[in-house]
Structure 1
Amino acid sequence: MPQPIDVGSILGGRYKVTGRILASAENDVILDGLDQVLNRPVSILVSAVDNSANLTQSAREVAIGTRVSGVSILDLGVQDQATYLIAARTSPAELLDLVVPTDAVEQVYQEPFFTDTLGTEIFGKARDAAPVSSAYVYEDNSPMTPAHPLPPVRQTPAPTPPTAAVAAAAIPAVEPSSLAPGTPSKVTLWDEDDYGFINEDHEETVAQERRAGTFPAAARQASNDYVADDLLDEDDDDDRNAPRISGRLLTGAIVSVLLIGALIFALQHIGTLFNGSSNQAGTSSSATPPPTEAQSPSAAPVPAAVAPVIKGLTDITTYAPGVQNYGEAYFPRLKDAIDGNKGTYWPTVEFSNADFANLTEGVDLVVELAEESTISSVTINQLAGSGGQFNILTNSKPEIAGATKIGSGSFSSPDFTLKAAPGVKAKYVIISFTELPKLQPFVTYPFGLKITEISIS
């Protein structure tokens, strides 16, 4: 059953159907289109009624990445009970693949619960079917299975007193009389004569000097001397680090004197400079004679530029004998290339190679202007072509003989603009295609032209 969407239809308020590519055995139709907002060609797939669900499902799978496809999907919608898909330019085979359903996606394995017990599987034990409630918990309060008992608690020993004190406390005092008879003494005892040099006054003085919280007199004197020396050193450091105020004042005074001298010198010579300039100007003006009419050059009138206005477009291609007027079926559509609407276009027949399949040496189009005009730029807009080669010429008559070449180019994007040199004027602009661009997509052969608009300014 034919689809209601055909050439000339507008889909989604922006995509215009410009051509019909092919139809499958199941009535899925591939169309050629134009994105009127971004002015770029697109491919359109209109599915059969039975394949609408498959197309919708495939588009969603491609969008979320579960289906691998080379199609870049731009839009998906329904119009006149027909489901359509808008995609960037691609081959019909890849588009028709989207109406073929994919196999059911296998069920993705789901973890039975969180993976806190994954270590049991790594070390050869079976994973627990579910978390088991237990009094043992991690520090993050997550339950711990019985297969993982808590590690033994290590008791921290209490601090011990200083080593010297412990050693002193651990060694009992042994009186010499308690030693067993015959045991040699390891300590030599002093008798009273050995203490004869110590008198009571001296012992009292030492006891006073050694009381807790006091220092010996010699130590206190040394400390006082050290503090006094430290203060003296700080004073010396302050003196050394103090800024040299006198040096700065001297430098400032010298700079001030120099500035004042420069200012006086400038004031004395400003008047002289201005007087000399005025005198020189007066002398120059008096020495230069006033220009006469004979000395003033005569300005030639500059002709006004004439803006080009396209009057018509003609195909003057010369084909090989026996194939005259090979493209005359498309002559009525030549006006679509100069109507100011990029949604329409003029095509050629499709060729099997870029050299016109030996049917002609080139395709020649003549743009006729309303009058001889100033040519600054020539713009060619086309659909679906890449590569090729063409020359742009100007002439005072609608033929290539005697024409002047102003530039050449090739298609690497939908739009091509040639900037002409200053001063180019012509009544006719000729576009001579010497090599065809490659079309994508195409119906029969992959080489040809689809010119949407030619403009001259």
Structure 2
Amino acid sequence: MITARRRAGLAAALGVVALAVLGYAAFEFSGQVTAPRAASSPVSHQQAAAKPPGPNTTQPLATPAPVATTAVTATPKATVTPRAQTLVPVSAMAFGPQGTADGDNPQIAARVLTDPAMGWVSQWYATPSFGDLKQGTGLLLDLGRTVTVTTVTLNLGSPPGTALELRLGAAPDLTALPVVTTATATRDQLSLPLASPAKARYVLLWFTRLPPDDAGTYQLFVHQVAIQGHP
């Protein structure tokens, strides 16, 4: 039998144990309430890249498309060619294979400049090729200085058939006057435009074939010569 004294001792011991248990429980509860929250483990770069952006995630701005520009090209100014004008020769002379020494009818050669109604007429020949006496005959026009020639025009008083060479140069010599164009007259006016303007002082109309005349022979008649170009 347990005596009253022993029961009292047992009760006291149980009370101590109960107090100890309650104290430990109170300590654990207070520790859980006041302890700081553990830091979350860091997110790896792979996880961050794989995570889709949320609705509030800031996206990089799109690069604006380049604006098309129109290149402005300056239009070069057109070169204005001065208008050709009449160039008046200072003299007109009959011209033969030996130059001014053996030209046809030299005394009336100047009429092509001063008296178009009368003009200049060559000697007559038995054939269109000067009776095989020479290679040609002509008129030499001296412009007085070097100019730019663009066109030469002749007024003829002969039937069609006149053939000639237009020669230009710096000296009154057949070898110094190169051919720039050739032509055959089909009517009473013959225009000789140059393919390219040429600089010259002397203009030689060198006739290489004669037209027929009314007497059954061959003879050339030139009323007037006009020269166009730039002084």
TM-score (norm. length: structure 1): 0.31
Where 1:386 maps in the other structure, the secondary structure is coil
> SS of the residue aligned with 1:369?
strand
Among 327, 331, 351, the residue aligned to 2:106: 331
Q: CA deviation at 1:326?
A: 7.1
Q: Per-residue deviation at 1:306?
A: 7.5
- Name 2:164's counterpart in structure 1: 390
Q: Residues of 1 paired with 2:218 and 2:118: CA distance?
A: 19
Q: 358, 362, 368: which is aligned to 2:132?
A: 358
1:305–1:373 CA contact under 8 A, matched in 2: no
* Among 84, 90, 97, the residue aligned to 1:311: 90
Give matches, 1:19-418, under 5 Å. Answer: 283-284=68-69, 307=85, 308-318=87-97, 325=102, 327=104, 330-339=105-114, 341-418=115-192
Tell me which residue corresponds to 1:64: none
Measured in 2, the distance between the counterparts of 1:344 and 1:358 equals 28
Q: Report the number of matched residues.
A: 159
Q: Could you say if the C-alpha distance between residues 351 and 370 of structure 1 is closer, same or farther in structure 2, counting changes exceeding 3 Å?
A: same
1:401-442 deviation line (CA, Å, top 9, x unaligned): 133322111222111111112332211111111111111x23
Give the structure 1 partner of residue 218 of structure 2.
447
2:96 and 2:103 in contact (8 A); partners too? no
Query: CA separation in 2, counterparts of 1:306 and 1:411?
Result: 24
Deviation at 1:358, TM superposition (A): 2.4
Q: Counterpart in 2 of 1:36? A: none
**What is the CA-CA distance between 1:316 and the residue it aligns to?**
2.4
Deviation string 1:110-135 (CA, Å, 9 cap, x unpaired) is: xxxxxxxxxxxxxxxxxxxxxxxxxx
Q: CA deviation at 1:375?
A: 1.5
CA shift, 1:446, in A, is: 1.5
CA distance in 2, matches of 1:284, 1:392: 56
| Structure 2: segments with no counterpart, 5+ residues | 1-64
Q: Secondary structure at the match of 1:350?
A: coil
Per-residue deviation at 1:303? 9.4
| TM-score, with length taken from structure 2 | 0.58
Shift, 1:345, TM fit: 1.3
> Structure 2 CA distance, aligned partners of 1:325 and 1:425?
27
Contact 1:306/1:374 (8 A) holds in 2: no
Q: State the shift of 1:318 in Å.
A: 2.7
The whole-number CA distance in structure 1 between the counterparts of 2:146 and 2:208 is 26
Consecutive unaligned residues in structure 1, runs of 5 or more:
1-278
Q: Determine the C-alpha separation between the residues in 2 that align with 1:318 and 1:345.
A: 22
Structure in which a larger fraction of residues adopt strand: 2
Matches of 1:410 and 1:417 in 2, distance apart?
Answer: 10
Distance of 1:351 and 1:408 partners within structure 2: 22
Contact 2:97 2:134 (C-alpha < 8 Å) held by counterparts:
yes
Q: 1:310 to 1:386 in 2, by over 3 A?
A: same
What is the CA-CA distance between 1:366 and the residue it aligns to?
1.3
Q: Distance in 1 between matches of 2:107 and 2:173?
A: 20
Q: Is the 8 A contact 2:151 2:191 kept in 1?
A: yes
Between structure 1 and structure 2, the one with the greater Rg is: 2
- Structure having the higher helix fraction is 1
3-state SS of 2:109 partner: helix
Aligned-partner SS, 2:218: coil
What is the CA–CA distance in structure 2 between the aligned matches of 1:387 and 1:303, rounded to whole Å? 35
Whole-angstrom distance in 1 between the partners of 2:82 and 2:221: 36
Q: Is the 8 A contact 1:309 1:370 kept in 2?
A: no
Q: C-alpha distance in 2, partners of 1:421/1:325? A: 31
| Other-structure match for 1:223 | none
How far, CA to CA, are the matches of 2:125 and 2:195 in structure 1? Answer: 34
Q: Describe the shift of the 1:413–1:433 C-alpha distance in structure 2 as closer, same or farther (beyond 3 A).
A: same
CA contact (8 A) 1:388 1:438 kept: no
Question: CA 1:397 to 1:325, structure 2 compared with 1: closer, same or farther past 3 Å?
Answer: closer
